[in-house]
Amino acid sequence: MAPMGIRLSPLGMAVFCLLGLGVLYHLYSGFLAGRFAFFMLSEPAAAGPETPHGSAAGGAVDLRELLAVSVLAATRGGEEVKRVREGNVLNAKAKGKTREGAEEQLTTGDLLSNRRMFYLLKSAFPAVQINSEERVDTADQETVPWDRSIPEDIKQKIQPKEVPAESVTVWIDPLDATQEYTEDLRQYVTTMVCVAVNGKPVIGVIHKPFSSYTAWAMVDGGSNIKARSSYNEKTPRIIVSRSHAGKVEQVARQTFGNKTVIIPAGGAGYKVLSLLDVPEKNQEEADVYIHVTYIKKWDICAGNAVLRALGGHMTTLTGEEISYTGSDGNEGGLIASINMNHKALIEKLPDLEKTSHK
pLDDT digits (tens, 9 = 90+) for 166-179: 999 999 999 999 99
Nearest to residue 125, comparing CAs of 106, 94, 151, 146?
146
Q: Does the structure show a pLDDT above 70 at 43?
A: no
Q: Does the structure show a pLDDT above 50 at 307?
A: yes
The residue among 349 and 160 whose pLDDT is bigger is: 160
Nearest to residue 155, comparing CAs of 222, 92, 98?
222
Determine the pLDDT at residue 114. Answer: 95
pLDDT digits (tens, 9 = 90+) for 279-306: 998 899 999 999 999 999 999 999 999 9
Determine the pLDDT at residue 40. Answer: 35
Determine the pLDDT at residue 353. Answer: 52
Where does the pLDDT of residue 14 fall: very low under 50, low under 70, confident under 90, or very high at 90 and above?
low
8 A C-beta contact, residue 225 and residue 276: yes
Mean pLDDT of the chain: 84
Q: Does the structure show a pLDDT above 70 at 53?
A: no
Q: Does the structure show a pLDDT above 60 at 50?
A: no
The response to whether 166 counts as a known ligand-binding position is no
User: So which residues are the catalytic ones?
Assistant: 110, 178
Lowest mean pLDDT among 40-44, 88-92, 241-245: 40-44
8 A C-beta contact, residue 238 and residue 263: yes
- Give the C-alpha separation, 303 to 196, whole Å: 12
8 A C-beta contact, residue 235 and residue 332: no
Q: Do domains 60-224 and 227-348 have the same CATH topology?
A: no
Determine the pLDDT at residue 153. Answer: 96
Alpha helices in the chain (DSSP H): 10-47, 63-87, 108-124, 152-157, 178-182, 245-256, 268-273, 297-309, 342-348, 352-355
Architecture per CATH, domain 227-348, reads as: 3-Layer(aba) Sandwich (3.40)
Percent of the chain exceeding pLDDT 70 equals 78
pLDDT digits (tens, 9 = 90+) for 193-225: 999 999 999 999 999 999 999 999 999 999 999
Percent of the chain exceeding pLDDT 90 equals 63
pLDDT digits (tens, 9 = 90+) for 228-249: 887 777 788 999 999 888 878 8
Q: Does the structure show a pLDDT above 60 at 11?
A: no
Average pLDDT over residues 15-32: 50
Lowest mean pLDDT among 78-82, 184-188, 239-243, 305-309: 239-243
Q: How many CA atoms lie within 13 A of 89 on its CB side?
A: 8
- Residue extents of the structural domains in the chain: 60-224, 227-348
What kind of fold does domain 60-224 have according to CATH?
A: Fructose-1,6-Bisphosphatase; Chain A, domain 1 (3.30.540)
- 80 CB neighbour count, 10 Å cutoff: 23
Determine the pLDDT at residue 249. Answer: 84
The response to whether 140 counts as a known ligand-binding position is no
Instruction: List Cβ neighbours of 38 (8 Å cut-off, separation of 6 or more).
Output: none
8 A C-beta contact, residue 195 and residue 202: yes
The response to whether 176 counts as a known ligand-binding position is yes
Q: Does the structure show a pLDDT above 80 at 54?
A: no
Where does the pLDDT of residue 256 fall: very low under 50, low under 70, confident under 90, or very high at 90 and above?
confident
Where does the pLDDT of residue 25 fall: very low under 50, low under 70, confident under 90, or very high at 90 and above?
low
Determine the pLDDT at residue 217. Answer: 98
- Point out which residues pair with 353 in neighbouring strands: none
The response to whether 133 counts as a known ligand-binding position is yes
Determine the pLDDT at residue 247. Answer: 77
Instruction: List Cβ neighbours of 120 (8 Å cut-off, separation of 6 or more).
Output: 69, 72, 73, 76, 144, 146
pLDDT digits (tens, 9 = 90+) for 326-337: 899 999 899 999
The response to whether 280 counts as a known ligand-binding position is no
**What is the secondary structure of 32-83 as a DSSP string?**
HHHHHHHHHHHHHHHHSTTSPTT-STT-EEEHHHHHHHHHHHHHHHHHHHHH
> Averaging pLDDT over each range in 22-31, 33-42, 152-161, which range is the top one?
152-161
